[in-house]
Amino acid sequence: MRNWKLAVIFWIAVFAGTACQHKDGSVGDRAVVDDIHETGTVNRPTIQQRERTAAQLPPPPAEAGQLWVDPVDGSEMVYVPAGEFIFGTPPECVEVNRRRQYDPVPEQRIQIGAFWISRLPITNAQYRQFVDATEYPEPYWWHNRVEWPSVHLPEGRPWEEIAQKSALVYQVAAKDYCRWAGKSLCTEEEWEEAARSTDGRRYPWGNEWREELGRGSTPPRVGPWTIDVSPYGCVGMFGGREWTTTEQDGFVVTKGLWYPTEYPGPPFDPEPCYGLWHRSLTSADLHSQGWSRFRCVVRAKEQ
């Protein structure tokens, strides 16, 4: 009887050790996967808003697009000054986009406060710091469950292959990461101002399509873009869906010009009513949510 019990304990230990391997080959003390679709309710730790020390506060801003490296999570942040900007869908595109079910907001000029925003979407490497520090569930895509090699980590592939790609998470996880880092998930207005600047441009780089960009990627990688850069220096806001905190009729607003590679037709929608004003409504119910990338902000009043 004693030998039987010892054998059971041994195999439980072996299984636990295997299941809890980190993606860089190291072994952690747990491996909880953040996949509400397969596992039902996932227990997430309560993440409190980090109180920043004086050394962790942004510097006094000098000009639009000023760069600051956040010492908390290593994010490069760019400064967007307070002021008025053009927000929403141009008048000639409202009905077109409504028929396309893009839920347009009519174009308007709005005032916005100053803020710092992530120059790049949060990466898997940065999100990993958060997971390790808080014992938060690991993103679904880190595990070999779907055939999407650009974002998940099959058996034997090194962590470095996805470390600098965008982290894809639920909105609640994006909010929790930003709290842990002493920041906030951006609003729809903040995202659009960071992407379009004050001139209401269609794309981050201007109003004309650039053929060399080709089709979008699904999802885009964090990396050295040379064209997809906004006037403030934000990178990669053209391709991919990104979370905001903005809600409408019980849905969460996501931003970004997502254009799947498998979609037949020209490299891009040739009609003029598809631009950075594009918005999608995603269910706030975790069982219906997808996974998206995200950016954090530090607002001037929060410094």
- Indicate the pLDDT class of residue 257, thresholds 50, 70 and 90: confident
* 204/273 same-domain check: yes
Q: What is the mean pLDDT of residues 65-78?
A: 96
- Same domain? For 189 and 296 the reply is yes
Mean pLDDT of the chain: 78
Q: Which amino acid is at 115?
A: F
pLDDT by residue (tens digit) across 1-30? 444 443 433 333 333 333 344 444 332 334
Within-domain flag for 36:
no
Q: What is the pTM of this model?
A: 0.81
Q: How far is CA 229 from CA 66, 135, 193, 273, in A?
A: 14, 34, 13, 20
124/191 same-domain check: yes
Residues 113 and 299: their CA atoms lie apart, in Å, by 7
Q: Is the pLDDT of residue 262 over 70?
A: no
- Dihedral of CA 146/38/128/225: which sign? positive
Q: Is the pLDDT of residue 146 over 90?
A: no
| Same domain for 154 and 22 | no
Share of the chain above pLDDT 70, in %: 69
- Residue 21 maps to a domain: yes
Question: Which of 10-14, 27-31, 173-177, 183-187 is predicted with the least confidence, judged by mean pLDDT?
Answer: 10-14
| Shared-domain flag, residues 161 and 252 | yes
Residue 187 lies in a domain: yes
- Overall number of domains in the chain: 2
**Average pLDDT for 221-235:** 74
Q: Are 50 and 239 in contact (CB under 8 A)?
A: no
DSSP string of the chain? -HHHHHHHHHHHHHHHHHHTB-TTS-B-S---EE-HHHHSS--PPPPPPPPPPGGGSPPPP-STT-EEE-TTT--EEEEE-SEEEEESB-GGGHHHHHHTT----B-EEEEE--EEEESSPPBHHHHHHHHHHHTPPEEGGGSTTSS-TTTS--TT--THHHHTSBP-B-HHHHHHHHHHTT-EEPPHHHHHHHHHGGGT-SBTTBSS--GGG-S--SSPPSS--SSSB-TT--BS-SSS-EEEEEEETTEEEEES----TT--SSSS--STT-STT-EEEEESSTTT---BB--EEEEGGG-
**Residue 157: per-residue pLDDT:** 62
Q: Give 41 or 123, the one with higher predicted confidence.
A: 123
Kindly state whether residues 90 and 237 are assigned to the same domain.
yes
137 and 256 share a domain?
Answer: yes
- Of the candidates 227, 229, 226, 231, the residue with the CA atom closest to the CA atom of residue 85: 231
Residues 204 and 82 in one domain: yes
Query: For residue 46, is it within any domain?
Result: no
Same domain? For 80 and 18 the reply is no
Confidence of residue 187 (pLDDT cuts 50, 70, 90): very high
Residue 153: pLDDT band (50, 70, 90) is: low
Structural domain of residue 152, as residue ranges?
66-302
Q: Is residue 57 part of a domain?
A: no
pLDDT of residue 127: 96
The model's confidence at residue 78, banded by pLDDT at 50, 70 and 90, is very high
Q: Is residue 49 part of a domain?
A: no
Phi, psi torsion values for 251, nearest 5 degrees: -115, 155
Report the range of poorest mean pLDDT among 3-17, 50-64, 196-210, 263-277: 3-17
Confidence band of 232 (pLDDT split at 50, 70, 90): very high
In a domain, 192, yes or no: yes
Indicate whether 11 and 132 sit together in one domain: no
Query: Does residue 229 share a domain with residue 90?
Result: yes
Does 211 map to a domain?
Answer: yes
Lowest mean pLDDT across 181-195, 227-241, 279-293: 279-293
Q: Do residue 182 and residue 277 come from a single domain?
A: yes
